[in-house]
């Protein structure tokens, strides 16, 4: 945008800027975030009485985002992935993946675990993307493995193993959508949680979503999702009559 002076900045300036960003291949989602940050900046300046005019971005609509399909792994695919991970030159890769599948953690959260985050049968995720701490119960078997690593006195339980995970996925032959490499583990946790009868509000807390709309992407996988439609639609009621 050329560092415009704030009181000279207009909605037209931002509209031209985001058009250029789109042409440069920047995603609409990323541009919406920039829009939100700039709009929030002017709102904050106004709250602090440093800005007396209207927010120049208040009337600009964000781009409508078409929701992408979230890929998750079926049980046989998980076994296939684990077989490839067990052959990895980095022994931490398999356990980090298991943590993601067991707790719905992001890869960075699981990979960066410290011994101090182990809490009597649970893992506490701190300094998260949402800014909220989450404490997630884990199985006794997984806790034993992690406590064994913690006894070594290391500052972090694992070394970086993202690249080793990518190599394992390639070896397994699994085809994953762009941008969903390690995130497929989080999607797999959430999807299986709902398919196995989990509660959507519990899932929201486990994933750390501040907005329930984010979690609702998984609601349709619940075996009870919209089942009332079978009995409460007019055709069914007419048949019953």
Q: Which of 18, 35, 125, 218 is catalytic?
A: 218
Q: Which long-range contacts (CB under 8 A, 24 or more apart) does 235-240 make?
A: none
Distance CA 20, CA 241 (A): 61
Is there a catalytic annotation at residue 106?
A: yes
For CA atoms 138, 139, 140, 146, the dihedral sign is: negative
Is there a catalytic annotation at residue 192?
A: no
Distance CA 97, CA 104 (A): 10
Is there a catalytic annotation at residue 186?
A: yes
The encoded tokens of residue 6 equal: 């704030």
Is there a catalytic annotation at residue 218?
A: yes
The count of residues in the chain is: 241
Is there a catalytic annotation at residue 183?
A: yes
Q: Which of 183, 205, 217, 225 is catalytic?
A: 183
Q: Name residue, tokens 């990518």.
A: 166
Q: Which of 129, 132, 154, 237 is catalytic?
A: 129
Q: Please report, in angstroms and rounded to a whole number, the separation of the first and last CA atoms in the chain.
A: 66
Q: Which of 35, 106, 187, 192 is catalytic?
A: 106
DSSP secondary structure letter of residue 116: G
The set of catalytic residues is 106, 129, 183, 186, 209, 218
């Amino acid at each position: 945008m050329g560092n415009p002076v704030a009181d000279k900045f207009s909605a037209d300036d931002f509209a031209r800027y985001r058009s250029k960003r789109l042409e440069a291949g920047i995603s609409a989602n990323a541009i919406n975030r920039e829009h939100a940050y700039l709009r929030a900046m002017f709102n904050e300046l106004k709250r602090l009485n440093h800005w007396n005019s209207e927010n120049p971005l208040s009337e600009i609509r964000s781009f409508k985002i078409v929701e992408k399909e979230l890929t998750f792994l079926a049980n046989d695919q998980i076994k296939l992935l684990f077989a490839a991970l067990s052959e990895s030159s980095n022994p931490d890769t398999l356990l980090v993946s298991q943590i993601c599948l067991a707790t719905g953690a992001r890869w960075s959260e699981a990979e960066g675990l410290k011994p101090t985050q182990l809490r009597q049968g649970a893992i506490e995720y701190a300094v998260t993307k949402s800014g909220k701490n989450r404490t997630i119960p884990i199985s006794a078997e997984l806790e034993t493995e992690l406590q064994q690593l913690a006894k070594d006195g290391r500052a972090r339980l694992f070394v970086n193993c993202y690249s080793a995970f990518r190599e394992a996925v390639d070896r397994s032959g699994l085809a994953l959508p762009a941008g969903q490499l390690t995130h497929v583990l989080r999607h797999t946790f959430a999807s299986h949680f709902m398919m196995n009868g989990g509660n959507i509000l519990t899932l929201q807390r486990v994933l750390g979503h501040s907005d329930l709309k984010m979690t609702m992407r998984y609601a349709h996988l619940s075996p009870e999702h919209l089942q009332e439609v079978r009995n409460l639609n007019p055709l069914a009621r007419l048949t019953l009559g």
